[in-house]
Structure formats: structure tokens, C-alpha cells
Structure 1
């Protein structure tokens, strides 16, 4: 009965893909790599491992795993690494150049992840013939998983994350996902592990260190002389960064900005929206609070004290943390899961975050208990914490040193994954 239900579900799923594929070409983001996504330009080369990294963030995790991977064979270990996005593909391409150039016995082939039509996936899995499918974070594509099961390919899901919302979605089709379940799941926290266990069975799940700690192990403060933003912020200025703030917390962040500027009127505030297309919202918010602001793109010299800089340039958040005395990390004053508070910490700044940071539960509660990061219950508590840090700013070098020690104690995820990969490959 269950087998029939799963078979019918996959047939319906395949029909949906066949109907949708012609329309998907209208999506500008999917045109990149179209021939690889549809296999119309040919097939990837056979590989021992097929590693799937959904987008840019997961692609960097894949790179970290590849650095630690070793061939258990006399021949080169062939790895097909796929992704769904242009950013991910560009990252994997750089990773392939790096790893192949090291001549460590690995041969890396980057590729776009084919559309998940089960017929398409059966074809490509049958051609690639991997011994292991390694999925990073949470990429539960039924067509891919089903094709791996048919070809008796072992499936390892590593650095796994599973939100309550995602679990609810998968449980609307439980028989299907249980039928194509990974052999082993390595979750990044006990909470994630429990959710995976609810879907797939707890006996398949164990907890690992997050590979993101490995990625940050070498992070260190940037010397001012090397900082590309040094001409915008005078060394005599007090500079505070609001990093990756979200439109859903606009009211709280605006109150926080206004309160901070009222209490410390000579502070320069760099406000970085998480999504640049919401810049107009922040312009309106700053106007409503009566704050003086300027776009980063119009700033040609040192910012004046008492100015809010609305950062309309990409890729400058980390250098800004490198010049700041204090930082608030957004996505945390509304139930949005929070943003990365490890970034300012590795730059030598004690970060302040709101109460909503469940997306980073893998970092561990002890980071707050140790005082490395401050959790504020609301915008007023965040304001008080920022003022306290500005009044008595810890030495950047000391903060960075403690952060490095914390990260060193929690890294090891990439090596744990590689050990599990070796165990699977050596089974045959």
C-alpha cells in the first residue's frame, strides 16, 4: 500500500516537472546553466561521490569538506559537486580550481543540479554511478533521492538543519520522504536532530559540529591600513554598525537607532539592510525619526559625527565591522531567526543581538554565558548594551582572541563528515 502510494506520488511529481520545465526557462536565474539543469547539453562525468550544495553558503561548506577529503583508492577520487544557483556555481568553480590545483588525488567537477524530474534524475544517476550521495544542509529532493535508492547509492546528509516549519512541510508527504530517506543524517544541533528523527527515525541521526566553525577558524580582524573603508570612518570617530537588519523589525530598529543617536549624538551609525531593495523603507524610517542620513554611495570622505550611513553597497559589512566599536546584528528583534553574530565577533567586536536567534542555535548558548555576545530582550535592552560597549569598548585584539578560542573548541565538522564519507566508501 505504501509502495503504491509512493510510486503514484513520484509519477505525479514527475508530471508536475514536465509541465513546469518550459515555463522555468522564463526565470532569469534559471537560465544560467540551463543545458546542465535539463541535461540537454550532455551529462556530467562518472564520479565516486555526488555532493550537492544548494547555493553560495553551502558551496563554501562543500569547499571546506573538499579540503579535508582524501581518496581511499589508488586512483583519483572523482567528485561531482552540484548547486542550484549562479553564486553557488561560481564558488564551486573556484573550489575546483583550488582543489584540483593542489594535486591531492581529488578530481572535482562543478555542475548545476539537474531539475528534479524523477525521469531526469534516473538518467543522470545511472550515468554518474556514484558510490555516495553527500547532501549538505537540507536538500531533500524526492527525484534525486529516489534515483539514488533505485541505484543503491548510499545517501549521507551532513551539516543538517531542519526548522519546525520545514518539518511540517515534509510531514505532509511522510511516506514519500521516508521511502527515500538518507542512510545517515549528521545534524548540527540536538534540536535539528530531533526534527530529522521525527521524519526519518532517530536511529539514523547523530549530531556533529557545524562546518561553519571550520570556515571561520582563520578569521581575524583586518588591520586598519588594509581596510577598504578606512577613508570613510575617521579613527577618532565612534562608529556603530547595525548589520543585516530586516524590514519586519523596522519599527524596533528605528527606535534603537533614534535612541542610540539621542544618547550618543556624535556616533556615526552604519545601517546595513539585509535586502538592498528595501532601502526606501529605511530612508522613510530615518526621516520619520528625524535622523540625518546619507547613502554610502554618496560618501566620498569621512562621515560627519551624528550621521546615519544607509549602506547601499554590497560586500562591505565585514570591513565595516572591522572599524566599529559596537555592533547590533539584525533579524533578531522580530521572530526571523537572526543573522550571523559570529562575523562581528571574529572582527574583534562584541555583538549585540535580539532574542530571536534560533537560526544560529548551533553556535551554542554558552557564547552568551561567556559574555562574548550579548542577548537583549528588546530594542531598549539592545540600546543599553550598545551604550555600555561604547563607553567601555573591549580591546579588539582581546575579543578576537577569545572568539578564535571559542571557534577552535567547536570546529571539526568537515573532518567528521570526511570520516563518515570514508566509512561509506570503504564498505564496498
Structure 2
């Protein structure tokens, strides 16, 4: 890699920045776990064939899929790094189920001397980065060592594209061998950022679709259930709008039982006070009490969301009535109910517009439209068997990304 004076100057400044911030990072409560590995005072790995970096929990599951999909006729030495404790716990479970020799470690800080040492120790034939983990220190040291890297399941928002584009001359010198992006828009953004050809930057199905098994609908022969609504993953920023939905729906459907799942448990107390102030009867799930005359069950224990989807007549998936990116609505239609969302779904744009065209998800542009869609869902729910046929057709068309990714990796390893 040819380094211009400007390129060299930027990395001298980047190195100086790490000298300044590293003392604070190693004292951070969030990064304290695994600090010895992040600074290479403790090294768990040696030379490997393949290095996969999975930033956190979601990427960790994808890393497991990739390793499982690799050819088992040749045992590989694989290093998988992550930034979070949750990611590491997932990867350690995954590692035990593989036919390859897998080592799991925390990712080193991107300080140039640290990543230089890590690249020298690991000496990988190929580095695989999942989604958008492009750290300039790591990529520069890979290039200096003459190593290849690719980005898989790549996704990049317009906001990220603008931010990274401010130092576009850096990224064009650190370009990967290939980018496998999850949508055509993501492919274009990566190609523009790195200066890649259409052959180097390609669109393939999102690997997350390969983790979805089959449609799981509720047994229609179960005893008749009361009318119920699930409000899932409700964020603090949209609580006023969600309270409006609760009040309006209870006025129209007095017998409706609402299951409210706050996104974060520390918001439970606030919901108790909100409902009390508006004279809405509620109980906590943890109380184990019968819902009785309560109109709202505040779900203050983790889990159980999939089961409630199967029982629900209607669902609203939160994080979408405020501009915070949305939450996972796929789980709802996979479990037998068409979810309603607000307009803010940037984090799930990779799913594509087809889910809305096919009626697998209903989107309202504001709380009034969301209210109307929920009323419609409660009054005219979609037949679960019809929904199941639609879901399975949709998922089948979206799967296969893991095999394509593994083919690329096998090619580069050879």
C-alpha cells in the first residue's frame, strides 16, 4: 500500500489520539471486562487461517452461521473477536459446536501499535468483518502486512456514509477485496466509499434470514382467548404516543387486555405512574396475579414475547413512533400476527419494502394512522394459515446469503 504524506500524517494524528484516550478507556466500567485482552497484556490466540470480527451479539450469531457453513473437509484455525461481553458469551457457546478449531477473544483497541501486534500474532490469510466494523488502524495494518479482508452482510446508512465520506481518501486506500452488502443501496454506499467496482461490491441476501426457520402459528384448536394487544419494545421517546394508543383503544374495546413490554426495565416505574394518573387499571407480570379487572399487564420480566405474539389479536412494535430506528418486527409475523409499526424503521430497511406490499407488516405515518391500523387488526385479523403461506414464501426468497458468503471465504482462503 502506497502511503502519501497526507495519509501518513492522518495516521500519526490517529495514533496520538489513541495515546490520549487509551488511559480513560481502560478505566471505563463498560470496557473493564476483558481489558487485558483489549490491550494484548493477555493474548489468547496465535496464528490462524481466518479471523472474523463480530462487534456484538447480533454479529456473533452471524459469525456462528458462517463458521458452521464452512467446508468441514479441512479443519481451520479460526479467531473470532468481539467488543462486548454478550457477544463473547454467544461466541463461546458457538465455538464448542464447530468442527474447526475456534478461539474467541475480545477485539484489541484500534491503537496502531496494538493492532499491528495483533495482526502479526494472528497472521490470518483472511479477515472477515461483519456489517460495518471498519476501523482504520486495523485495516491499515492489514494492508501493510499484505493481508486481505472482506466485509460481509455489509450495511451502511446514509448518515454513516456521509460521516465516513469526510475522510474518503483514507478509505479508498484501505479498500477491501470484496463487500457483500445486504441491499442495493448499501452496495452503492460501500462502492462509493471505497471506490469499488460492481464486481467487488455485490448485493446478497441478508444472513439474518438464514436464522429464521419456519412460520410458527398458534394452534387454532386452543380454547378461545380474550382479545389482546401486544405493545412490544416501547422506547422512552414514544411513551406519550403509546399512552395515546392505549387510551383510545381501551375506549373502543373496553374488554381489551394490553400487554405492554417496555424496551428497558427501568421504565416500568414510569409506566406504573402514567397509567395510574390516567385511571387505567394495571398489574405487573411479576406479581403472578390474575389480570382480573386490569386493562394493562406491564411485562416487567424478560422473555415471553414470542408466546404473546402467538396469542395476540394485534401487535404494535415500538421504537418506530420516534426517530430511533425501529425494533424487530419479523418475530411478530413469524409467530402468527401482522405487526403495526410507526414510520421510523431505518435500522430495519434491510428487510425491504416487500413486507409492506405483501401485508406482512402495516406501517402508519403517525400515531393516528397507527391507531387506525390497530383497530382494523383487532376487528379483522388476518387468517393465520393465509399469513403463514405468505410468510414462508417471503422467507424462502430471502435465504441463501450464508452459503454465498462461505463460498467467497473458501475462495479467498485457497
Scaled by the length of structure 1, the TM-score of the pair is 0.90
Alpha-carbon offset, residue 6 of structure 1: 1.9
Query: Which residue of 2 is the match for residue 370 of structure 1?
Result: 358
For 2:96, what is the secondary structure of its paired residue?
Answer: helix
Q: How far is the alpha carbon of 1:406 from its aligned partner?
A: 1.2
Call closer, same or farther: CA 1:278–1:4 in 2, change over 3 Å: farther
Q: For residues 116-195 of structure 1, what are the structure 2 equivalents within 5 Å?
A: 116-195=110-189
Shift of 1:194: 2.2
Q: Among 236, 251, 259, which residue is 1:262 paired with?
A: 251
Q: Counterpart of 1:66?
A: 67
Aligned pair 1:52/2:53, yes or no? yes
The alpha-carbon deviation at position 357 of structure 1 amounts to 1.6
Separation in structure 1 between the aligned mates of residue 74 and residue 196 of structure 2, nearest angstrom: 36
Q: C-alpha displacement at 1:222, in angstroms?
A: 6.8
Work out the CA distance in 2 between the residues paired with 1:303 and 1:235: 16
* 2:48 and 2:123 in contact (8 A); partners too: yes
Q: 1:112 to 1:77 in 2, by over 3 A?
A: same
Quickly say closer, same or farther: Cα 1:200–1:321, change in 2 above 3 A.
Answer: same
- Cα shift at 1:164: 1.7
TM-score computed with the length of structure 2 as normaliser: 0.93
Q: Give the secondary-structure state (helix, strand or coil) at the position aligned to 2:328.
A: coil
1:94 is displaced (CA, Å) by 0.7
The 8 Å contact of residues 240 and 267 in structure 1, kept in 2 or not, is answered as yes
Residues 299-329 of structure 1: CA distance to partner in whole angstroms, max 9, x if unpaired? x143235521222222332232232221111
1:93 aligns with 2:92: yes
SS in 2 for 1:355: coil
| Unpaired stretches in structure 2, ≥5 consecutive residues | none
CA RMSD of aligned residues (A): 2.3
Q: Structure 1 CA distance, aligned partners of 2:215 and 2:136?
A: 37
Q: How much has 1:191 moved relative to structure 2?
A: 1.7
1:381 is matched with 369
**Distance of 2:224 and 2:66 partners within structure 1:** 39
Unmatched runs of 5 consecutive residues or more in structure 1? none
**CA separation of 1:301 and 1:290: change in aligned 2, threshold 3 A:** closer
Structure 1: distance between partners of 2:136 and 2:220: 49
Per-residue CA deviations over 1:237-285 (Å, capped at 9, x if unaligned) read 2221111122222222111111111111111111112222333443344
Q: Distance in 2 between matches of 1:224 and 1:109?
A: 46
Partner of 1:77: 76
Superposed, 1:238-277 pairs within 5 Å as 238-277=227-266
Contact 2:225 2:311 (C-alpha < 8 Å) held by counterparts: no
Distance 1:183 1:382 in 2: 44
Q: Displacement of 1:218 after TM fit? A: 4.2
1:325-404 pair list within 5 angstroms: 325-404=313-392
How many Å separate the matches in 1 of 2:260 and 2:233? 8
Could you tell me whether the CA contact under 8 Å between 1:224 and 1:323 is conserved in 2?
A: no
**Count of residues in Structure 1 that have an aligned counterpart in Structure 2:** 411
